[in-house]
Amino acid sequence: MKRLSTIVIAAASILACLTAKAQGGTDALPFVRTDFGPTLTGTAGAAVASAEAGPWSAFRGAAAMAFPGSLQGVAGEFRLTDGNAGFSGAAMAKLAGKMGLGFGLSYLGGDKIASYRTNNFLLSTAFAYSITDSFSLGANLRFARQNLMESVSYSGASLDINALAKIGYSVTATFGLSALGNKVESASGTAYAQPANVYAGAEYVYGLDSNKLAVDAMAEYYFSGNFGAAIGASFTYDGMVTARAGYRFASEWCVLPSHFAAGLEGRFGSFSVNASLAMMPAAYVACFGAGFSF
């Protein structure tokens, strides 16, 4: 009886991990919608139109890599999600002044099912091309794998396509399609779609590079019928310290829930360190990272 109970609990947990319930359907591999890096995590995802994500654009918003002023380099972060540890890293290089190439790798630890701890693995590559000094296009191609038990895992590939444009001196805007990928089939034969969505965002910057205030906003609609929106801001002092905060609102069954986030980043020449905290309804996400630009 005890063994049967363990099997039933494990099976229920697997179903819960595989899908995030959505209005009118379910989303497979929901962690592909994770916000990586201090720019997005610290603003609750609002800063999708920022060109300052650097190497983290390898995961989302690839067009920023080819934008004037974006910095190539490497970055890494340690992530705690309700006590579960994860590690992520990204690298970006600019070629011929017009192209950007990025690579990202992430391992996110999950809940424990019976004697096995679930985990999520994400591999992402990105390419961007600058059409003009104020307009660029980019694409992110990712492979995701979710390991739920020793012999149970699910995987899928997905694609992002996005554009980033500068409007006047102070405004940048972005538009994109995200997580367009294959359906994931469960052990019962039921197929679930990945959290595909369309999104748009804008950023307004007041001040100079060394002392400036940036205000960000974004909205996204998921093909499952859910939606989300976020607003955030960041303030940079003397080019050395940046404070960020943001709030995300989402529909009840959206893959990324409503939450408040804040972050702090310090720069020392080409080296930077950062910390961010996102307070989800059922958990917290704390990120600690470092980066090097060149």
* Rounded mean pLDDT, 22-26: 45
Q: Which has the closest alpha carbon to 66: 162, 167, 138?
A: 138
CB 147 within 8 A of CB 56: no
Q: Residue 18: pLDDT band by 50, 70, 90 thresholds? A: very low
Other beta carbons within 10 angstroms of residue 262's beta carbon come to 19
* Rounded mean pLDDT, 243-264: 96
Please state the φ and ψ torsions of residue 135, each to the nearest 5 degrees: -150, 130
The mean pLDDT of the chain is 88
Q: Which has the closest alpha carbon to 76: 268, 272, 236?
A: 272
* Rounded mean pLDDT, 105-124: 83
- Calculate the dihedral angle through the C-alpha atoms of 84, 158, 293, 256, rounding to the nearest 10 degrees: -40
* Rounded mean pLDDT, 207-212: 89
**Model-level pTM?**
0.87
- E-assigned strand segments in the chain: 19-22, 25-28, 73-81, 84-95, 99-113, 116-132, 135-149, 152-167, 171-181, 184-185, 191-192, 197-207, 212-222, 227-237, 241-250, 259-268, 271-279, 284-293
Please state the φ and ψ torsions of residue 115, each to the nearest 5 degrees: -105, 10
| Partners of 261 in the β-ladder | 246, 278
Q: Which amino acid is at 210?
A: S
Question: Could you give all domains of the chain from N- to C-terminal order, each with its CATH number?
Answer: 2-293 (2.40.160.40)
Contacts of 168 (CB under 8 A, 6+ apart): none
pLDDT in tens, 50-95: 999 999 999 999 999 998 877 899 999 999 988 889 999 999 999 9
Q: What one-character DSSP code corresponds to residue 193?
A: B
DSSP-based three-state secondary structure for 25: strand
Q: What is the CA radius of gyration of the chain?
A: 19
Note the pLDDT of residue 127: 97
Residue-wise burial string across 207-218, b where 16 or more C-beta atoms lie within 10 A, e elsewhere? eeeeebebbbbb
Cα gap 243→265, rounded to integer Å: 7
Note the pLDDT of residue 115: 65
